[in-house]
Amino acid sequence: MRIIGIDPGFGRMGYGVIESSNKGRTWSALTWGCLETSAKKTLIARLQELRDKINELVKEFKPTAASVEKLYFFNNAKTAMDVGQARGVILLTLLDHDLKIYEFTPLEIKQALTGYGRAEKSQMQKMAAMVLGVKEKIKSDDAADALAGAYCAAVNFKIK
């Protein structure tokens, strides 16, 4: 069983793929990272880049489910709209691959990984590495959040 986690954004999209080799009792990280799109490109070009990266990840790692973080409060309405558009592209791209999609709030993801819904970014990075068997530091907050989202789907729905 493999789950792809996505931390949506149009400037930075975190991603991570986790796998269970023993019927959901333990999970390990296969890949993670952060796609950064150039602010010099149009929003449409950036959305295409997100779509292409997700297609690439799904084709390479063949996940059977996906987890996408829900939008939360934004101070800037334009940013919220752009992230919302990115999230729409992400969801549709995952649906194009017939993946079951789970959606969680940041609070739910933090709760599943650390046991505390208000965990700091550094706590999320450390716990994601520890729980998913990652030896090196996960440098990107976005990647750690994506891995945590995938793990949240695994533990909340007993995906096997």
- Tokens 């997100």 appear where? 50
Active-site residue 142, yes or no? yes
Q: Which of 7, 49, 82, 145 is catalytic?
A: 7
Average pLDDT, the chain: 93
**Known binding positions:** 7, 69, 142
**pTM for this one?**
0.94
> Tens digits of per-residue pLDDT, 3-57?
999 999 999 999 999 999 877 789 999 999 999 999 999 999 999 999 999 999 9
How many distinct helices (H) and strands (E) make up the chain?
A: 5, 5
Q: Which of 19, 82, 142, 145 is catalytic?
A: 142
85 φ, ψ (degrees, to nearest 5) = -65, -40
Active-site residue 19, yes or no? no
Please report the domains of the chain, with CATH numbers, ordered by start residue. Answer: 2-157 (3.30.420.10)
**Known binding positions for Mg(2+):** 7, 69, 142
Q: Are 106 and 72 in contact (CB under 8 A)?
A: yes
Q: Within 10 A of 116 (CB to CB), how many other CB atoms are there?
A: 12
> Tens digits of per-residue pLDDT, 47-68?
999 999 999 999 999 999 999 9
Burial (CB < 10 A; 0-12, 13-18, 19+), residue 89, is buried
Active-site residue 98, yes or no? no
